[in-house]
Amino acid sequence: MIKVENVKKAFGHTTVLDGVDLTIAPGEVVSILGSSGSGKSTLIRCINGLEKLNSGRIMVDEFDVGKPRELAEARKRSGTVFQLFNLYPHMTVLGNITLAPIEVLKKPRAEAEATARALLKSVGLGSRADAYPAQLSGGQRQRVGICRALAMQPRYLLLDEVTSALDPEMTAEVLAILAKLAQDGTTMLFVTHEVEFARQISDRIVFLDNGRLLVDLPTKEFFAAEGGMARPRVAQFLSKMRKE
């Protein structure tokens, strides 16, 4: 389970996360919605131990992300794919995917490569193992990014707007992969502006507003009540997203 407990995070005098509580159980798909600047990426970066908390605690299974000795174990459990493609440009697709399994998990190269090839095949890139990132489209690169995260066999997959830099066709390609992962029972924390897609794949929707977690509801209830108690703010957000 991922447990975010009363997390506060500020940059200088700006509070970016203001007492966030969130629990994600194995098998759940949880989408985080919220306006630009509401703190979504910061929350993902905190779960990854990339940001130091001002207060509160984040546990990934039994490991405390804030404790330097436990961070590596916590990170092994959560694979992350970011907004921007961050593949190593000087390595092939296969090299990018097998690097961490070989270096961190100490997997034999042959085994790591076999896993990588199977993952690539599952996202429709079976023939591109030897290509370099620059030779791929944005959608293909992002699919490789997903394979790279999955190659570490994480218990949790954290996705931060993985389709925001893609055109609609490439977005559809990547979302299809994510829908399949959700169906297969992958635990996912999914930051997105794709409201309709979030509605289709999520068990729960959380809504961040100015660093506060205003809403945490089962997907059906979230959309039926447009945010329940936080209805005015959520309705405003949803109507803006639908116009875009």
Ligand X SMILES: Nc1ncnc2c1ncn2[C@@H]1O[C@H](COP(=O)(O)OP(=O)(O)OP(=O)(O)O)[C@@H](O)[C@H]1O
Binding site for ligand X (CB under 6 A): 11, 16, 34, 36-42
Q: Which does 37 bind (CB under 5 to 8 A by kind): Mg ion, ligand X, none?
A: ligand X
Q: Which does 11 bind (CB under 5 to 8 A by kind): Mg ion, ligand X, none?
A: ligand X
- Residue with Cβ nearer Mg ion (67 or 240): 240
Q: How many CB atoms lie within 10 A of CB 37?
A: 13
State the minimum distance, in angstroms, from the CB of residue 9 to ligand X: 8
Cβ(179)–Cβ(198) below 8 Å:
no
State the minimum distance, in angstroms, from the CB of residue 156 to Mg ion: 18
Ranked by CB distance to Mg ion, the top (closest) residue is 41
- Residue with Cβ nearer ligand X (97 or 159): 159
Burial class (CB in 10 A: 0-12, 13-18, 19+), 8: middle
- Residue with Cβ nearer ligand X (11 or 88): 11
Kindly list the residues in this chain that would bind Mg ion in the complex (CB under 5 A).
40-41
Q: Which does 39 bind (CB under 5 to 8 A by kind): ligand X, Mg ion, none?
A: ligand X
State the minimum distance, in angstroms, from the CB of residue 70 to Mg ion: 26
Q: Which does 36 bind (CB under 5 to 8 A by kind): ligand X, Mg ion, none?
A: ligand X
Closest CA to 140 of 160, 163, 158, 157: 163
Q: Which does 38 bind (CB under 5 to 8 A by kind): Mg ion, ligand X, none?
A: ligand X
- Residue with Cβ nearer ligand X (12 or 168): 12
What does the block give as tokens for 225?
Answer: 């009540």
Closest CA to 194 of 181, 213, 179: 179
- For 207-242, letters b (16+ CB in 10 Å) and e give bbbebbbbbbbebeebbeebbeebeebbeebbeeee
Helix, strand, or coil here: 9? strand
State the minimum distance, in angstroms, from the CB of residue 236 to ligand X: 16
Cβ(189)–Cβ(2) below 8 Å:
yes
CA angle, 5 then 104 then 1, to 5°: 25
State the minimum distance, in angstroms, from the CB of residue 191 to Mg ion: 6
State the minimum distance, in angstroms, from the CB of residue 96 to ligand X: 24
Q: Which does 79 bind (CB under 5 to 8 A by kind): Mg ion, ligand X, none?
A: none
- Residue with Cβ nearer ligand X (155 or 193): 193
Amino acid 94 reads: L
Q: Which does 185 bind (CB under 5 to 8 A by kind): ligand X, Mg ion, none?
A: none
- Residue with Cβ nearer Mg ion (38 or 115): 38
Residue spans of alpha helices (H) in the chain:
40-47, 68-77, 93-103, 109-122, 138-150, 168-183, 195-201, 219-224, 231-243
